[in-house]
Structure 1
Amino acid sequence: MSVGTSLGAPAVFCDDSGRTSPLQIPFSRLAWFYSDASGRGRPTPGNWRKAKRQMAHTIKSAAVIGSGTMGGGIAALLAGCGIETLLLDIPPRDSSPGDGASTRNAIVAANLKALGRARPPQLYSPADLDNIRIGNTEDDFEKVAHADWVIEAVVEKLEVKRALFARLADVVSPEAIISSNTSGLPISSLVTGLPADFSRRFLGTHFFNPPRYLRLLEIIPHAATDSAITDFMLRFGREILGKGTVLCKDKPNFIGNRFMSMSGMQATNYALDHGYTVEEVDLLTGPLIGRPKTATFNLNDLVGFDIAVDVARNLYPAIPEDPARELLMHPGNAALSYALLERGWLGRKTGRGFYHMRREGGRKELWALNLQTLEYDPPSTPRFESVDTYHKVKPLGERIRLLIESSDRGGRYLYHLHAFLLAYASQRVPEITDSIVNVDNAHKWGFNHQLGPFEIWDAIGVAESIVRFEADGYPVAAWVKTMLAEGNATFYARDANGAITSYYCPQRAGYVPLQKDRREITVAGLGNAQVYSNGHGSLYDLGDGALLWAFQTKHNSITPGLVESGWRALELLEHDQYKALVIGNDGERFSIGANLDPSALMDGLAGVEKALANLQELTQALRYAPKPVVVAAHNMALGGGAEIVMAGTAVVAHAELYMGLVEAGVGLVPAGGGCKELLRRLVNPLARNGTEGVLAGLQKAFETIATAKVSGSAKEAMALGFLTEHDKIVMNRAQLLGEAKALALALSEAYEQRKPEPVYAAGRDAYAALLLAVADYQEAGYASEYDAFIARKLARILTGAGLAEAQWVSQQYLLDLEREAFLDLVMQEKTQARILHMLQTNKPLRN
């Protein structure tokens, strides 16, 4: 298993325990990955040499100075990418140089311990801690000399950072890259007066919190930064760290925080001026318009209100040329800020902010702050006619257009929100960035917005909106009017499939081709390559002999129609024009598993049994296909989705893979080959070497399925047995389908069709041992009576249904046991109650 690719950074290989160890792959073996400066194209000896010149820098080791929330998160990300990381922080003030390391490193050690317990997890695997060494900034500062990249993540105070960089100038390696994680301080000011060679290698690298999960990485060079280093860090962030890298100018708060500060302030100010409630604003500014559920005020509580206030105070004097800065000094907002700070209501970290979780009548309720009285009001459900009418409209851009054209209170709020945002975006180009693409990507990657400002503007109509914007006091930049006057109606040009091909550049007064990495394949961009579709799944010709099977059901759930499209994929795979099959999709989730449709039971078990048999036969056919089948797995791969992933010849998994056989949570057992496959993976290797250890492997498979365990990452999926050491993990989600295609074609060069191997069934004694474990769990209160009933069904499958002694059995024997247990369980009243509860609440029922 390899993590990421190169750029001179170590790949990571996992053993059966899931522990990681760095392995440096020679550049020449990975030069194909970079075939030119953007990573596009196929390899040739000539562009290998060109790529090697362009990738003169390598990052095998790093030092992070500052072990707080951001520093620790950055260290965790680097360690997860296989980079040996030194994490430093100040020693405790009451310690002395002669004290032991445990005393001197108390601060960094405590922060590292907290990092390991963080929720959501900051580490891809607990084993990543092996890649992190700790120290303090007095006794261990010289160790920074061994780092290829030094990242500063200390307190956001200019003089503190400048003093640190002055010290670093004396110790860092002459080849090292040095960067600051500042969220808005001028990059040039941090190295004023420092040696030119140090300044040449210095730039800003602004991660967004939490670094593991948020895709945006802002790269901010200053005037003296070597352009080769800037280019390298843009590629390194993209290729190795899996980030969406955005080039920013050295302007206050860069792109992401500049926009969030100003648009967030405008959203609050308008609410205060026009009497909108906290709950109304969060309803209007969340998923309805393609933003996260945290919306506006909930996001403030998550970040911390004190931080938002500090950002506003620091930003105002830093942008005297920006007329919109007066938003930061809004009298009503200033009074609100003072009141909340005085009360210590800073958000989730203090228990109160714009929301307060209260216990009423034995249950928790989220009360919202009344912006007028500063009292908390009980939960309410805001209603707007426009929202009721248009909330289900697709695509998102059309929904936003209809909402902002509505005349009710909801429509007026959303109109002014967007009028400010879009006009402001036009005014900040080219001040803070030369590219509208960078503005849109910063919103999407840094704050999980589905559309950026200029994409929204295209959707609602640029020419149609400008007159209204300016009439209402939202001035639009002159270059937008020039664009329209020249006959260019949109900021982006698109092909027949709707994929962006070019974008408008104000400096060139014309469209510029959008540079694309050929590995960044999307199903949406393959419209003309479709060769089959039944509405549940579609097949596409990926070129070069690769066929793609893409899911298209709601949440990519497994339906009979989707299974039918899988069989069609296998039929086409037999044609000479195809060398390999790739399974993947553009969805937010790979697959949530089987579609839990209670109506399927109305005609009895015959239909259910047929569907199960068909799914089992499909997963077996995929696994033993005559040509390689590579699965591109991402996000959630649950239940039947996990079974399809495990059916592949190989898997290319995104690092953020949450995979598990979760059927026990709805009162069932896996019956698409999942029990058989996990048993084969975890027990067969042990059984081939004798019976010692077989029970441990069996117990691992049993506990993983019985507790519906879901991996917290692709690395954990490997440790659980859902992925194998032959599978590949990639950091960049955008490259997933392209990497899967490349692996599938590589495997096709000398592929030998697999043959089904028998599976080791441990028999009656092992069954008794598992039943004893179930009884212990039940007695300890970890399992209900019905949990135990399901677990006993599972134990019977995994041990071979009461075989008198251990023996090797056919895969079909175990598949039959899976199906038999499933059909029995699905008719149980308590299982049906669990299924119904899951459908109604999206939560498991423990009955």
Structure 2
Amino acid sequence: MREIKRVAVLGSGVMGAAIAAHLANCGIPSVMLDIVPPNLSDEDKKNKAKRDAIAAGAKAALLKAKPAPLYVKSYIDMIEIGNFEDDMEKISDCDMIIEVVIEKLDIKKKIFAQVAKYRKPGSIVSSNTSGILISAMAEDMPDEMAQHFLGTHFFNPPRYLKLLEVIPTAKTKPEVVKEVGAFGENVLGKGIVYAKDTPNFVANRIITFAMQYLMHEMTKAGLGVEEIDALTGPAIGHASSATFRTADLVGLDTLQKVVGNVYNGCPDDERRDMMKGPDWFDKMIEKGYFGNKSGSGFYKATKERDEKGKKVILGFDPATVDYRAPVKPRFACTGAARSAGSLAEKLKVMHFGDDEGSKFLFKFFANMAQYAGNRIPEITDDIVNLDNACKWGFAWEVGIFETWDILGFDEVCERMAAEGIALPPIAQAVKEAGGKSFYKSEKGVDLFFDLATKTYKPVPTNPNELKLINVKANPTNIVEKMDEASLVDLGDGIICAEFHCKMNAIGPDIVAVLNKGVDLLEEGKFEGMVIGNQGPHFCAGANLMLVLGDAMQENWKGLEDMVRGLQGIGMRMKYCSAPVVAAPHHYTFGGGVEICQHADKVVLAGETYAGLVEVGVGVIPAGGGTTELLVRALEYMPENIQPNDAFPFVRRAFENIATAKVGTSGAEVIELGYFRASDIVLPNYDHQIQKAKAVCRGMVVAGYAPPRKPRLYALGESAKAVFAAGVWGMKEAGWASEHDMLISSHIANILCGGDRAAGTPMTEQDFLDLECEAFVSLCGTEKTQARIQNMLASGKPLRN
């Protein structure tokens, strides 16, 4: 299989630049080309910088874009720029060429004609089109180029949305499809969906029907846009933007074009009538209501504020084709969903309730499921690809057929029959085969119902992916199980400490499981340990409810024991006789960072958002995090360095903690110094456990030895004074409160060694004692308790 080491991106618009940025995130250099600006003066036509201005502007815009397309800003240097007229020869050393120009077939064909002149034989060529048929673009290509050509439809923004649709033509070589799929999944961290060359491919074909159905039916049901979004958002495991906020984000003019692709390109679609209108939607476009980019779409923000100080957002009224006051949705089903525990419980109360909202939602789901079922094998071969397209393209927690299974296969079939909604062929085939679900698991192997063979087949897997749920399907692999954490045997001598509670907040179970894991390592029953899970987040920090309870009851001994427990397991892991590898992902805050800092190696997901954020709840990192940042600041200092000379290195640790700096990618977390430059950033979160296991196993094979104790010393009173002066300046500027100053003084006291004179030798335990003292002291203050209460109540920090 060829290795893709360099990529050309043809087109530097929003998508082209974002694709180049994500290639950079994943270590792939690119050359990004665009047109020469029109109407240049004769003098400017001779100026290369002027000729490259469009691509240069797009590259510069990446540094300011929100959300950030780059893991860290320095990665921008991996993107080379140029223009189509002067620099097409630069594609000759590229292994893959991705076209991302305007959605016009004639222009794309002109670009591909140029590509044919300069590409090297065997290089892969693809188009990022979202709607033009791939086969239409390949019509005039030389045979060898056509054999290496296919569609690669990234979803916007490419860094954050996992979906990559791969669309071959009849001429595309099978090995090219395989290579692009492997590159997308293993290098770019994408979820690959193999699509047929049909209008809008898979994800957009389904979502356009869903949106059009809701637009047509909501007015008949007398529902408003806010009510539809309340029914089709987080309450059913969909994104918070739900339906109409998503449409505003995409752009209503864009949506109209996408819908038109189906209406014009799919004359045999049984629901083609849904792909036209309604009339009021066409009038929105005529009035220039394009969504967020025009300031008004299904929603329109105003400058007014409500009684709570929140911006008033008007809702669109189809009856008047104008805006009206916001409507507060009030459905019994959404109220029940807020009280429900699991997603399965939410889905059932939302779809099977007796209220108006629930009845509407079930009818919507049934129609969408029928439509999706009827699209197999037209747009893709199986339900796995279709479900994955919806999950990865629109941030749904579960796909359509997974939802059907959760609701109950037979129950949904019966309800559809009662409402006169015909089953799609695949559901009928499941019934005829005696099946009770679209998916099932046997002996730890996930299976799906395949319409072509009318049998259950294994869900395709990647050897780089290790699913904990499948490992645990064999009870003998569960070494220890508690309510909030477990130890799981991953095989090959490696054990996994898995957290599985709400936000994976650290409580007694997690500390106990980690201690048990270290016990097993020290006893020689396992050779290494991975700390990881496959929940939404790695760990949101300490269980604040437990901290607040002890603080309000003045249980200082309980707080000290809590701190000592987390510090203790950190030291045990750090100096264990066997390797420990942590695998943080998504939210990794406070104690979650501290656990990882005491591992020998960290394998971070690309999308890891991590930091020591304890000041937000009025305390300091006391699970060894403050001490460990100091250790890392001093570990490469020469033996004869003076304490004052070490101050600049320690200052970064102070600033990170005192300002609660959070890295917004795995790479940025490392750049901030929370983890080491030698740690690993993995774009594909699904591969993280397997990678961490492999890293851990590699350390065993290489011959593991625990680290030596660090050489530490006090920085003394002068360093504390400098820190205090900096915080005082922040307070005077209005950036810090009196309580922030108190917290910062504790941080400085720890990092500088307490009351010891500069240069006094110290141990890690000395600094850990200072951490514990500071934490307990701060928990005794009213303002810290108020911060904790506010965080528990609102999820937001209180600056008091």
TM normalised by structure 1 equals 0.90
CA contact (8 A) 2:715 2:757 kept: no
- Letter in structure 1 aligned against 2:26: C
Determine the structure 2 residue equivalent to 1:124: 71
Same amino acid, percent of matched pairs: 39
SS in 2 for 1:220: strand
- Letter in structure 2 aligned against 1:726: S
1:681–1:696 Cα change, 3 Å? same
Deviation, 1:603, is 4.2
Deviation, 1:574, is 2.4
| Equivalent in 595, 601, 608 of residue 559 of structure 2 | 608
| Equivalent in 726, 738, 742 of residue 678 of structure 2 | 726
Determine the structure 1 residue equivalent to 2:744: 791
Q: Aligned equivalents of 1:613 and 1:465: distance in 2?
A: 52
Deviation, 1:202, is 0.5
Deviation, 1:407, is 3.2
Deviation, 1:718, is 1.1
Q: Aligned equivalents of 1:821 and 1:468: distance in 2?
A: 60
1:578–1:209 Cα change, 3 Å? same
SS in 2 for 1:86: strand
- Letter in structure 2 aligned against 1:570: V
* Mapping 1:406-805, distance limit 5 Å: 406-466=353-413, 468-469=415-416, 472=419, 474-495=421-442, 501-527=446-472, 528=475, 529-597=477-545, 598-601=548-551, 602-688=553-639, 690-691=641-642, 694-749=646-701, 750-805=703-758
Determine the structure 1 residue equivalent to 2:790: 837
- Letter in structure 2 aligned against 1:523: L
CA RMSD of aligned residues (A): 1.8
Q: Aligned equivalents of 2:733 and 2:259: distance in 1?
A: 53
Q: Render the CA deviation track for 1:317-350: whole Å, top value 9, x for unaligned.
A: 10111111210114xx2x2223322332222222
Q: Aligned equivalents of 2:638 and 2:231: distance in 1?
A: 58
Q: Aligned equivalents of 1:100 and 1:468: distance in 2?
A: 69
Q: Aligned equivalents of 2:218 and 2:271: distance in 1?
A: 17
Q: Aligned equivalents of 1:758 and 1:477: distance in 2?
A: 69
- Letter in structure 1 aligned against 2:793: Q
CA contact (8 A) 1:201 1:225 kept: yes
SS in 2 for 1:348: coil
384-393 vs 187-196, which moves further: 384-393
Determine the structure 1 residue equivalent to 2:32: 87
Deviation, 1:479, is 4.2
406-415 vs 179-188, which moves further: 406-415
Deviation, 1:633, is 1.0
Q: Aligned equivalents of 1:193 and 1:471: distance in 2?
A: 52
SS in 1 for 2:271: helix
1:379–1:827 Cα change, 3 Å? farther
Kindly tell me the number of residue pairs found equivalent between the two proteins.
787
Determine the structure 1 residue equivalent to 2:129: 182
CA contact (8 A) 1:758 1:811 kept: no
1:500–1:298 Cα change, 3 Å? farther
Determine the structure 2 residue equivalent to 1:341: 285
Q: Render the CA deviation track for 1:390-424: whole Å, top value 9, x for unaligned.
A: 54445434543443233321111111111111111
479-488 vs 147-156, which moves further: 479-488
81-90 vs 564-573, which moves further: 564-573
SS in 1 for 2:637: helix
340-349 vs 630-639, which moves further: 340-349
Moved over 6 A (4+): none
Q: Aligned equivalents of 2:782 and 2:327: distance in 1?
A: 35
449-458 vs 460-469, which moves further: 460-469
Determine the structure 2 residue equivalent to 1:45: none
SS in 2 for 1:652: strand
- Letter in structure 2 aligned against 1:799: C
1:402–1:829 Cα change, 3 Å? closer
SS in 1 for 2:131: coil
Q: Aligned equivalents of 1:230 and 1:71: distance in 2?
A: 21
| Equivalent in 137, 140, 151 of residue 98 of structure 2 | 151
Q: Aligned equivalents of 1:375 and 1:167: distance in 2?
A: 48
Deviation, 1:458, is 2.0
Determine the structure 1 residue equivalent to 2:256: 309
Question: 1 or 2 for the larger relative contact order (CA 8 Å, sep ≥6)?
Answer: 1
| Equivalent in 209, 213, 222 of residue 262 of structure 1 | 209
Determine the structure 1 residue equivalent to 2:62: 115
1:553–1:396 Cα change, 3 Å? closer
CA contact (8 A) 1:502 1:513 kept: yes
Deviation, 1:470, is 5.2
Deviation, 1:683, is 2.6
CA contact (8 A) 2:445 2:470 kept: no
CA contact (8 A) 2:445 2:458 kept: no
Determine the structure 1 residue equivalent to 2:110: 163
SS in 2 for 1:87: strand
Q: Aligned equivalents of 1:500 and 1:420: distance in 2?
A: 30
TM normalised by structure 2 equals 0.95
Deviation, 1:113, is 1.3
Deviation, 1:545, is 0.9
1:296–1:801 Cα change, 3 Å? same
523-532 vs 255-264, which moves further: 523-532
Determine the structure 1 residue equivalent to 2:236: 289
1:460–1:645 Cα change, 3 Å? same
CA contact (8 A) 1:686 1:693 kept: no
SS in 2 for 1:345: coil
190-199 vs 215-224, which moves further: 190-199
| Equivalent in 59, 66, 77 of residue 4 of structure 2 | 59
- Letter in structure 2 aligned against 1:66: G
Deviation, 1:119, is 1.2
Structure 2 residue 151 is matched with structure 1 residue 204? yes
Structure 2 residue 770 is matched with structure 1 residue 817? yes
Deviation, 1:467, is 5.0
CA contact (8 A) 2:333 2:353 kept: yes
Q: Aligned equivalents of 1:360 and 1:729: distance in 2?
A: 43
SS in 2 for 1:121: coil
Deviation, 1:375, is 4.0
Q: Aligned equivalents of 1:751 and 1:780: distance in 2?
A: 50
Deviation, 1:386, is 2.8
* Mapping 1:2-17, distance limit 5 Å: none
- Letter in structure 2 aligned against 1:561: D
SS in 1 for 2:585: strand
CA contact (8 A) 1:424 1:476 kept: no
SS in 2 for 1:633: coil
1:389–1:840 Cα change, 3 Å? closer
Q: Aligned equivalents of 2:787 and 2:318: distance in 1?
A: 41
Q: Render the CA deviation track for 1:289-311: whole Å, top value 9, x for unaligned.
A: 11011101111111111111111
- Letter in structure 2 aligned against 1:727: D
1:323–1:127 Cα change, 3 Å? same
CA contact (8 A) 1:637 1:645 kept: no
Q: Render the CA deviation track for 1:755-792: whole Å, top value 9, x for unaligned.
A: 32232432222222222222222223322232222212
Q: Aligned equivalents of 2:47 and 2:103: distance in 1?
A: 29
| Equivalent in 295, 317, 321 of residue 351 of structure 1 | 295
- Letter in structure 2 aligned against 1:657: T
